[in-house]
Amino acid sequence: MLDSLNRRLEKMMPLITPVSVLLGVLLGSHLSGFTFLSPWIFAFMTFAGSTSSSFKEFLKAVAQPVPLLTCLFILHVLMPLIAMGLGHVVFSDDAYTVTGLILAAAIPTGISSLVWVAIYRGSTVLTLSIILLDTLLSPFVVPFTLSVLIGAKVQMDIGEMMQGLFLMIVLPSLLGMLLNERTKGRAKEIWSPRLSPFAKIGMGIVVAINSSVIAQYLRDISFKLLGTALFVLMLASLGYVIGWLAAKLMRWDDDIVIALTFNGGMRNISAGAVLAVAYFPAPVAIPVVLGMLFQQSLASLFGYLLNQRYRLREARV
């Protein structure tokens, strides 16, 4: 039953986050009081996703580190710089929106990227390695990136943010991998399929709760909100394109190209929303929540484009 539910939820992934955002906006006053639950639910989601990972798979990809380091460069150097540069051009008088754009670009890659990479036959070993290393580095990389690119323009508690990232992402990931190692892979076979549907449901709950906090900003559909949404859509799409271009320029195999495309574009957007709501003024969360609307749909679109490209190439051969 859980396996069937999980397959249905996977097919619904492009719809889960937009529907959750809508529910959060409609039920704003009823859900906003439950923000204290978001970090705990997210920690469970991270644990559930990590039970399919292992330290051995991570070491395999570290033996060939260039694709791994290339993806980390895109995630934590190139995309935050692009978000900052374009953000200052388009939203020069709005420090909160620029901060939200940088935060959305700086957070680690999403665990759900593994699902998309597996669907389109990309390198799951490389993807797991990117997720694991990015997860372990996130308490240091994300606050450092924000402090360098944002500085004192927006008040933030770096130490508390590092602690939050450690408790939400690093610790649950290590526990999930340790459980998989101690059970000699049985956790991946038994617990991962059982926990996966609850993790997807948890993602919807976290998105709804965090959307409720900024419901007042999303209800007022203004030209600025629509412009911000289009900008976030363009920025999110750019991550996929840059990941694909980098892999093609390096002439890597198709499975590496697919892995870098998804990992370059996807972000742990739920974590970004939790951080934005917990450590920043509410308007900072707007670009992050808008990113939730597009992430899974963009993954579906770019997966389709990759599939069409390889089918055409195979037909020519």
At 91-138, the pLDDT tens digits run: 988 888 999 999 999 888 877 787 788 778 888 778 878 887 887 888
The pLDDT tens digits of the residues spanning 96-109 come to 899 999 999 988 88
**Side chain identity at residue 117, one-letter code:** V
What are the tokens at 244? 């694909």
Exposure b/e, 228-257, CB count within 10 A at least 16 = b: bbebbbebbebbbebbbebbeeeebebbbb
pTM of the model: 0.79
Give residue 240's pLDDT band: very low, low, confident or very high (50, 70, 90).
Answer: very high
pLDDT for res 14? 66
Banded model confidence at residue 312, pLDDT cuts 50, 70, 90: low
For domain 16-308, the CATH architecture is Up-down Bundle (1.20)
Residues 305, 184: Cα–Cα separation, whole Å: 37
**pLDDT score for 317:** 47
Pair 149, 102: CB distance under 8 Å: yes
Cα–Cα dist 306/308, whole Å: 5
> Could you tell me the CA-to-CA distances from 265 to 163, 261, 290, 304 in Å, in that order?
26, 6, 15, 14
- Torsion-angle region of residue 39: left (phi > 0), alpha (psi -120 to 50) or beta? alpha
Residue 1 has pLDDT above 70, yes or no: no
242 vs 176 pLDDT, higher one: 242
